[in-house]
């Protein structure tokens, strides 16, 4: 299968939301509980907020919001959490949202980076990150991300593609949950 990385459009909002939901459930149900995961996704990935973030990215040179969509010739059927088939521009295997780090404009912050769980281990995340690094290398020196300390899949991925932990901090999720801030040179 040949995937395409392209700029997100507002037509992608539902698929992005569902990709985040599936990823969060696969990663955090055992840590946070299913109801908390649903609340976090509905809050942090509200459809209107995603539309605004995509519109902002399309009007700025220092922000990226991209999706990985499967090859249109594939027979893979992608569904949302309700089991409805996603078609056309709604189909999405992964997405990423990059903004400048507020305190250091030469650092790109990978604010959102999710791959559908059924695509984990297939190189989708690596290809997406490589695309971002190529796109961002003229504007930024480093790329940074934050990953919950309980996210073994996310930590393993980040370390496998060269990110190193630079600090540990508490999350906004409460209950003493920590996250690692990781960084790599572009």
Provide the domain count of the chain. Answer: 1
59 occurs within a structural domain: yes
Contact 65, 57 (CB under 8 A): yes
Q: Is the pLDDT of residue 130 over 70?
A: yes
Judge whether 177 lies within some domain: no
77 inside domain: yes
**Residue 165 included in any domain:** no
Domain span including residue 120? 4-141
pTM: 0.86
* Domain membership flag for residue 180: no
Q: pLDDT, tens digit, for every residue of 98-124? A: 999 999 999 999 999 999 999 999 999
> C-alpha dihedral over 31, 41, 24, 20, to 10 degrees?
-170
Q: Please give, one letter per residue, the 3-state secondary structure of 46-97.
A: CHHHHHHHHHHHHCCCCCEEEEEECCCCCCCCEECCCCCEECHHHCCCEEEE
Instruction: List the structure tokens of 126.
Output: 């690596």
Query: Domain of 90: which CATH number?
Result: 3.40.630.30
Please provide residue 85's backbone torsions phi and psi, each rounded to the nearest 5 degrees: -70, 130
Within a domain: 61: yes
Residue 130 lies in a domain: yes
């Amino acid at each position: 299968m040949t995937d395409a990385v392209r700029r997100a459009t507002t037509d992608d909002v539902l698929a992005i939301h569902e990709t985040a939901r599936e990823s969060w459930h696969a990663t955090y149900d055992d840590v946070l509980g299913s109801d908390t995961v649903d609340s976090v996704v509905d809050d942090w990935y509200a459809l209107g907020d995603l539309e605004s973030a995509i519109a902002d990215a399309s009007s700025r040179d220092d922000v990226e919001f991209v999706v990985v969509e499967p090859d249109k010739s594939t027979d893979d059927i992608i569904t949302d959490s309700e089991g409805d088939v996603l078609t056309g521009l709604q189909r999405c295997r992964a997405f990423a949202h990059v903004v400048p780090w507020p305190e250091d404009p030469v650092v790109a912050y990978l604010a959102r980076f999710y791959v559908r769980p059924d695509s984990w281990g297939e190189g989708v995340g690596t290809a997406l990150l490589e695309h971002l690094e190529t796109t961002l290398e003229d504007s930024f020196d480093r790329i940074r991300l934050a990953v919950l300390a309980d996210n073994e899949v996310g930590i393993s991925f980040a370390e496998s593609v060269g990110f190193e932990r630079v600090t540990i901090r508490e999350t906004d999720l409460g209950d003493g949950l920590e996250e690692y801030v990781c960084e790599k040179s572009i």
